[in-house]
Amino acid sequence: MTETQPAPARDDPGRAVPAIELAGVEKAFRVHGEHVAAVRGVDLEVGQGEFFSLLGPSGCGKTTTLRMIAGFEEPTAGEVRLHGRGVTGVPPNRRDVNTVFQSYALFPHMSVFENVAFGLRRRGVPKGEIRARTGAMLDLVDLAGRERRRPSELSGGQQQRVALARALVNRPRALLLDEPLGALDLKLRQSMQVELKRIQREVGITFLYVTHDQDEALTMSDRIAVMNEGLIEQLGTPREIYERPATRFVAGFIGTSNLLAGEVGEVTGGGSRAALSFGPDGRVEVPVRDGLRVAVGERLELTIRPEKIGIGADEPADGLCGVRGTVTEVVYLGTSTSYNVTTSAGADMVVFQQNATSADDAAARGDGVWLSWDPLHSYAIGAPR
């Protein structure tokens, strides 16, 4: 039986070939007699050597997208390309990518060395090369000296490193990771995030990482695609996505964000800035998201992160945004204090103040306060829902 061959690479010499490319990819499943769309028209390019994350809640389509790239699922429509070649119909073992799952799937009867070397032996690699490559990979994941141990004798983090080494020792051109740290406790997971980034940097291959953990994605990624209901809502660097969320969903899913709805009183800068009023005690001027068209009299929603906001009794200085409100809750968090404030227009806001000194809280529950921030730290994202 003839094996399926990858489609020829596209002829476009003026364009850097992405490591992974999705063009109009869709995936629908038949559930109880109905077609359910898991992924809807996704277009995506992942560069060579990039650490790229698919981030979103359960059921958003991120794992289905990874499985289509790996070859475990075929798209209902669209095309998946690896290093410029279409791979429709190409089985997983011929796609030159490896996958690491949350369940490590290590062979319990084999030693660490044998687990890592398994793929090389199946491919008939000479014994000397197996020893050299397996040893080098165990050094890379900091498991040198544990070659003879069985998986049951290792911690969860060490087992994850074995699974990673087993995937990398075959020298794939891209590594796909499906929530690989999900089974670890918080402290170990945070430690492994740093290690994964170090390993990716040292081996220099493309990592495509699937996670629902926003901190994980922000910590490790060069770029992030935030997915929701089968669509990519925003694609950008961690800083871009955190500082300039494109939609209400992204603003709420990535970290904590305050959403304020106000009426547009003035539009300036060719539509790039809008002045909003929030009742009698609030007026701000904010940048407007690219592509968003606003007009005087419209209602508009802006986002502002809690750590960007100052809280105090005095009215904000000229040039700052400001709204007046009443403190409804104060929570001491160690490194910071969290304030819940209800504005005079009835909006609920959260403010984080760093506990840089041992001074008393800036405000107490029931106090009337002004909230203030730099206009560049808030961002208009669209009409309120």
Token pair of 284, please? 């701000």
* Per-residue confidence (pLDDT) for residue 15, from 0 to 100: 66
Domain ranges for the chain, please list them.
20-249, 256-382
Third-level CATH fold of 20-249: Rossmann fold (3.40.50)
With a CB cutoff of 8 Å and minimum separation 6, the contacts of 361 are: 330, 332, 337
* Under 8 Å between Cβ of 267 and 273: yes
Burial of 195 (0-12, 13-18, 19+ CB in 10 A): middle
Least confident of 66-80, 113-127, 203-217, 267-281: 267-281
**Euclidean distance between CA atoms 344 and 276, whole angstroms:** 15
- In angstroms, the CA 195 to CA 173 distance is 20
- Copy the structure tokens of residue 19: 């490591």
d(Cα 306, Cα 13) in Å, to the nearest integer?
47
- 239-285 confidence digits (pLDDT tens): 999 998 989 999 989 988 998 887 787 777 766 667 776 656 666 76
Q: HSE of 158 in the Cβ direction (CA atoms, 13 Å)?
A: 17
- Residue 271 phi, psi (nearest 5): 95, 5
What's the pTM value of the predicted model, to 2 decimals? 0.85
* Lowest mean pLDDT segment, chosen from 52-61, 143-152, 297-306: 297-306
Which CATH code is given to the segment(s) 256-382?
2.40.50.140
- pLDDT, position 41: 92
Cα-flanking dihedrals φ and ψ of residue 198, to 5°?
Answer: -60, -45
Report the SS3 class of residue 149: coil
Q: Which of 17-26, 282-291, 316-325, 364-373 has the lowest mean pLDDT?
A: 282-291
Specify the amino acid at residue 65.
T
Q: Of all residues in the chain, what percent are helix, strand and coil, respectively (each to 5)?
A: 25, 35, 40
CA dist 139 and 143 (Å) reads 6
- The residue written with tokens 């994941």 in the block is 141
326 in helix, strand or coil? strand
When pLDDT is cut at 50, 70 and 90, the band that residue 14 belongs to is low
- Is beta strand 258-268 parallel, antiparallel or unpaired with respect to 273-277? antiparallel
**Mean pLDDT score, 170-183:** 88
> Range with the lowest mean pLDDT among 284-298, 343-357, 368-382?
284-298
Give the DSSP H or E segment for 115: helix 112-122
Tell me, yes or no, if the two domains 20-249 and 256-382 fold the same way.
no
